[in-house]
Amino acid sequence: MRSILETFSNSFPQRNYLIEIICPEFTSVCPKTGQPDFGTITFQYTPNELCIELKSLKLYLQQFRSRGIFYENVTNQILDDMVHVLSPRWMKIRASFTPRGGISTSVIIEYPFPN
């Protein structure tokens, strides 16, 4: 799946700056119920040598639409794939899913992992 992610060169690798990308139309499928899950994925990262190309990110995220996967798993997989492709200085992903049965869930993960 990560092979679809494309990058471009960071024009300012000497600087520490924050890129924030908000993807409010994320969809996957609950592996237990088969029901669709809807959420917002927010990326924050400090690039090193590379930045993510947005169209490829959109196509990458669309691959989860028919995939049965738990919230925790999808968030961790997205982080693993992004870190593999970008090697950022720092990255944080927040996956906030719409309420189901009156319960809201957000999964937040950061790289490098805090000690």
Q: Which residues are catalytic?
A: 30, 37
Half-sphere exposure of 23 (CA within 13 A, CB side): 21
How many C-beta atoms lie closer than 10 Å to residue 21's C-beta? 14
Written in H, E and C, the secondary structure of 23-55 is: EEEEEEECCCCCCEEEEEEEEEEECCCEEECHH
Dmax (CA) of the chain = 47
